[in-house]
């Protein structure tokens, strides 16, 4: 699968997607496989655009339970085959992508909706240039890659559905809570109006 597969899945080109694509290709080359079911597992330590490339390229998804989030805000990704304790840990090097203050200032304006058309155009050009640089950089300049030992996470489980006694919506049994002696879903448990 090429970069366009990830772009089509994600919707646009950006540095995060480019990082994820490079990670996904490293994992695909190492494991020689795209996950059809749950055999390949990716553990992502962030919730960035990179995750979409992993889903598109490696076949690791939330729905299948073979994409696991540990939201630490780190571009670190660990891949393993179920049943194998050896895993591949891929970390973005902290100095691989130096901060670009002009780009960051333009990004802030675009996000706030205050960028004029010229600033928005400059931002898009800069964003794409950074993305392209990530795609072209030698892997050893971009990532630390090492084998680690890890316990294989359990496969995704299907649980019975319970009905919340407050809102009437169904939820997975292990996520139920007790409030005033009744089984409720998490949002009703956390609601402030009681």
Point out the residues of the chain with pLDDT beneath 50.
Answer: none
Write down the pLDDT at residue 39: 86
pLDDT, tens digit, for every residue of 56-67?
A: 999 999 888 899
Cα(67)–Cα(44) distance, rounded to whole angstroms?
7
Task: Give the integer Cα–Cα distance in Å for 66 and 54.
Answer: 11
Classify burial at 30, counting beta carbons within 10 Å of its beta carbon; exposed 0-12, middle 13-18, buried 19 or more: middle
Residue 12: per-residue pLDDT: 94
pTM of the model: 0.83
The domain 3-96+137-149: what is its CATH number? 3.30.1330.130
Q: What are φ and ψ of residue 44, in 5° steps?
A: -105, 135
Q: First-to-last CA distance in the chain? A: 51
Distances (CA, A) of 95 to 92, 98, 99, 176: 9, 6, 9, 44
Res 37: pLDDT = 79
pLDDT of residue 193: 66
Domain boundaries, the chain: 3-96+137-149, 161-190
CB 123 within 8 A of CB 106: yes
Q: Give the CATH number of domain 161-190.
A: 3.30.60
Return d(Cα 134, Cα 174) in angstroms, integer: 41
Would you report the helix, strand and coil content of the chain in percent, each value rounded to 5? Answer: 40, 20, 40
Q: What is the pLDDT of residue 62?
A: 87
- H/E/C letters for each residue in 12-71? CCCHHHHHHHHHHHHHHHHHCCCCCCCCEEEEECCCCCHHHHHHHHHCCCCCCCCEEECC
Q: Report the distance separating Cα 99 and Cα 50, nearest Å.
A: 18
């Amino acid at each position: 699968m090429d970069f366009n597969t990830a772009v089509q899945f994600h919707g646009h080109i950006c540095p995060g997607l480019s990082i994820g694509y490079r990670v996904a290709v490293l994992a695909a080359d190492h494991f020689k496989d795209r996950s059809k079911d749950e055999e390949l597992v990716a553990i992502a330590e962030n919730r960035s655009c990179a995750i979409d490339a992993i889903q598109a390229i490696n076949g690791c998804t939330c729905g299948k339970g073979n994409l696991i989030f540990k939201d630490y805000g780190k571009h670190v990704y660990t891949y393993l085959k179920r049943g194998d304790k050896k895993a591949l840990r891929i970390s973005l090097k902290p100095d691989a992508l130096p901060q670009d203050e002009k780009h960051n200032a333009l990004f802030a304006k675009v996000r706030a909706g205050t960028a004029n058309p010229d600033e928005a155009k400059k931002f898009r050009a800069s964003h794409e240039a950074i993305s392209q640089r990530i795609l072209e950089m030698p892997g050893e300049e971009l990532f630390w890659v090492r084998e680690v030992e890890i316990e294989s996470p359990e496969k995704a489980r299907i649980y019975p559905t319970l009905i919340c006694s407050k809102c009437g919506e169904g939820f997975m049994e292990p996520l139920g809570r007790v409030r005033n002696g009744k089984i409720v879903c998490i949002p009703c448990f956390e609601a402030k109006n009681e």
